[in-house]
Amino acid sequence: MTTIATHDLSLSIGPRTLVQGLNWRAQAGECWSIIGRNGAGKSTLLRTLAGLQQPAAGAVEIRGRALRDWPLTELARERAFLAQSRHDAFAYSVIESVLSARHPYHANRYWEGSDDHQAALAALASMEVADLAARDVRTLSGGERQRVAIAALLAQQTPLLLLDEPANALDLAHQVSVMGLLARLCREQGKTVVMIGHDLNLAARISTHVLLLMGDGRWQAGSNQQTMQPSLLGDYLGHPIDMIEHAGHRIFIPKECPA
Amino acid sequence: MQASVPPMRQRATLIVGAMLAVSIAILLFAGMTGSIRVPLADMPDALRQLLLGRPESLAASLLELRASRALVAFATGGALALAGLMMQALLRNPLADPYVLGVSSGASVGALLALMLMASTLVIDAAALCGAVGVAMLLYLLARRDLRGGQAAEGGASMLLLTGVIVSALCASMITLMLSIAPEGRLRSMIFWLIGDLAGAPLRLAPWLVLAGALLYAMRNARAMNMVALHAENAVTLGVRVGALRKGLFFVSALLTASAVTSAGSIGFVGLIVPHACRFAFGPDHRVLVPASVLAGGAFLVLCDTLARTIVAPQQLPVGAITAMIGAPVFLYQLHRLRK
């Protein structure tokens, strides 16, 4: 089943075309990584998929229905979005920030119900931040804040997850566990994950599919096997890349710069 | 944390109930205090006479005067606190206040112009309202795109803030100009208007209707205000119509400010500090903050005004001269005690 699809989608910033004629679809159970250079339009694409931004041309469909035809609250039960960075102006507690993700589920209530609290606590536990529940979000470390934000995303309980650099600020152990959790959600619960990441090895380990963006309109989408090739990646990232095999995994390393 | 559902609701009820009790106590205090004290024992009888519309005893007549002034103060304080709270949520800036966007400066320009031309009270009020509405409209036209939100993640709010500060500065220079060319005899009333004064402010229904309407709007949107305070533009992905909410917050807080400054002049400090103090005491959840701020703002201004008319009695001070004098030490104490 197609979760999200784009039709002739074009994105531009000022006079620059970032993505041109993107025809792409993601099915339930697929885990996509978007890979490209800085400024190649990865975040612009993800924000457009989330409905936060209008494309220059073309359309985005979620479950066969154009984004603008979805009522916002219903759409919020279909897709969740993790922003690249956040600025906390007020002293909300961790549990309050995660409960806020339950907003689309209690439209007519003034207070959250016990089901919302259960979902929030379960999400916090899965991100190993349950002990932070009462803390002020502004006092958390960068990695803790990121895990709380991902917990909020999970508490939203949507079939489609859009994540802008989920591994940002996470330590090595949590990068691996968070990525593992996302892959498991796709595999076991049939969720669709679309995420941006800069770590090729993590992407190669957990993504089923990859979307490469060149930043001048060109793009390439395909399965992990098709796209995670050193020459192709080198083209799209603008730096030659080597691949080695280790314990059954492909490891990508940048080639030495000719000094 | 586990069983936090009923406590959240109970806590809110408790806070709002306590604030309500404090407000009533302060209103009673305002009624009893003055050049002639009304003893507590006489209050029930005086209140009864007042409610029946036939104030006969001295206590009842005194109470009538004081109650009408206290009710004006309460509506003004509540409106300023709610306007400040909305501005802080709209701009995602805890240092915003109802005056930051220049709506009150616009009102001041109108009112001072009318005062300088020796207009009647009604014309002064109308001119203040026109000034406030004029500036709000101008701001809206300039910042329409920023309010809608979208492309610029954090840019929208700061652009609106900057526009407001500049418009405010323009109004301030016009005020200075008027003060410097005003005839000597008009100067005192102009200064009192600028400081904010409740003496002679008539009790009207309109500010209460505005406050009630705004409170209803804020309560209905309290959860959405939380979303915008937490997630800014990204609240769209949680089903909040951010553009509509921002426009609503902007217009409702401008209306509140206009209504408050029209009845009492530009009283400072309440709109900034009351929401801030409530946030310190009760947390940032707008579902609690909205009713608590209105009650706290109202009660605070009634208390300040009672002191303003009694400290150096029989002379009356403008209430705006008192608000910061009482509020600042209380707030500083709270700030530093909590930080420890």
Residue with tokens 């005194």: B62
pLDDT for res B149: 58
Which of A52, A68, A135 to mutate to test binding with chain B, by most B CBs within 10 Å of its CB? A52
Sign, CA torsion A57/A60/A65/A67: negative
Q: How many whole angstroms separate alpha carbon A177 and alpha carbon B166?
A: 50
Confidence of residue A22 (pLDDT cuts 50, 70, 90): very high
pLDDT for res B155: 55
Which residues in chain B have their CB less than 8 angstroms from residue A163's CB?
none
Asked if B299 contacts B243 with a C-beta cutoff of 8 angstroms, the reply is no
Which residue among B2, B227, B285 sits closest to A103, beta carbon to beta carbon?
A: B227
Confidence of residue A108 (pLDDT cuts 50, 70, 90): confident
Which residues in chain B have their CB less than 8 angstroms from residue A92's CB?
226, 229-230, 283-285
pLDDT for res B60: 84
User: What interface predicted TM-score (ipTM) does this complex get?
Assistant: 0.88
pLDDT for res B105: 87
CB contact under 8 A, A112 and B8: yes
Which of B1, B92, B221 to mutate to test binding with chain A, by most A CBs within 10 Å of its CB? B1
Q: Please tell me which residue of chain A has the smallest CA distance to B151.
A: A53
Quote the crossing angle between the two packed helices B286-308 and B206-220, to the nearest 10°: 150
Both ends of chain B: CA-CA distance in Å?
24
- Determine contact: A101 vs chain B, CB below 8 A: yes
Confidence of residue A81 (pLDDT cuts 50, 70, 90): very high
Q: Supply the pTM of this predicted model.
A: 0.89
Residue with tokens 């709007």: B217
- Nearest in space to B241 (alpha carbons), one of B254, B228, B229, B230: B228
Q: Please tell me which residue of chain B has the smallest CA distance to A97.
A: B230
Q: pLDDT tens digits, residue range A151-199?
A: 999 999 999 999 999 998 899 999 999 999 999 999 999 999 999 988 9
Which residues in chain B have their CB less than 8 angstroms from residue A121's CB?
1-2
Mean pLDDT, residues A50-74 taken together: 91
CB contact under 8 A, A111 and B8: yes
Q: How many Cβ pairs closer than 8 A exist between chain A and B?
A: 95
Mean pLDDT, residues A73-91 taken together: 90
Instruction: Classify domain A1-78+158-259 by CATH number.
Output: 3.40.50.300
Residue with tokens 């707008």: B286
pLDDT for res B151: 46
Question: In tens digits, what is the pLDDT along chain B, a chain of 340 residues?
Answer: 444 455 788 899 999 999 999 999 999 999 888 878 888 888 888 888 888 877 788 888 888 888 888 999 999 999 999 999 999 998 888 888 877 788 888 988 998 999 888 778 888 888 888 998 888 888 888 877 766 655 444 456 677 788 888 888 999 999 999 999 988 888 888 888 888 888 777 788 888 999 999 999 999 999 999 999 998 888 999 988 888 898 899 889 989 998 888 888 888 888 888 998 899 889 899 999 999 999 999 999 999 999 988 888 778 888 888 888 888 888 788 778 765 5
Note the Cα B36 to chain centre separation in Å.
29
- Nearest in space to A240 (alpha carbons), one of A227, A224, A225, A256: A256
Sketch the domain layout of chain B as residue ranges: 5-339
- Determine contact: A73 vs chain B, CB below 8 A: yes
Q: pLDDT tens digits, residue range A128-140?
A: 899 998 899 999 9
Q: How many whole angstroms separate alpha carbon A53 and alpha carbon A10?
A: 12
Which residues in chain A have their CB less than 8 angstroms from residue B153's CB?
83
pLDDT for res B173: 94
Which residues, at least 6 apart from B71, have a Cβ–Cβ distance to it below 8 Å?
B203, B208
pLDDT for res A1: 78
- Determine contact: A14 vs chain B, CB below 8 A: no
Instruction: Classify domain B5-339 by CATH number.
Output: 1.10.3470.10
CB contact under 8 A, A111 and B232: no
CB contact under 8 A, B284 and A92: yes
Which of B237, B279, B282 to mutate to test binding with chain A, by most A CBs within 10 Å of its CB? B237
Confidence of residue A258 (pLDDT cuts 50, 70, 90): low
Q: How many whole angstroms separate alpha carbon B134 and alpha carbon B68?
A: 29
Mean pLDDT, residues A228-255 taken together: 90
- Determine contact: A253 vs chain B, CB below 8 A: no
Q: Where in chain A is the domain with CATH 3.40.50.300?
A: 1-78+158-259
Element (H, E) at A65: strand A65-66
Which residue among B1, B232, B239 sits closest to A76, beta carbon to beta carbon?
A: B239
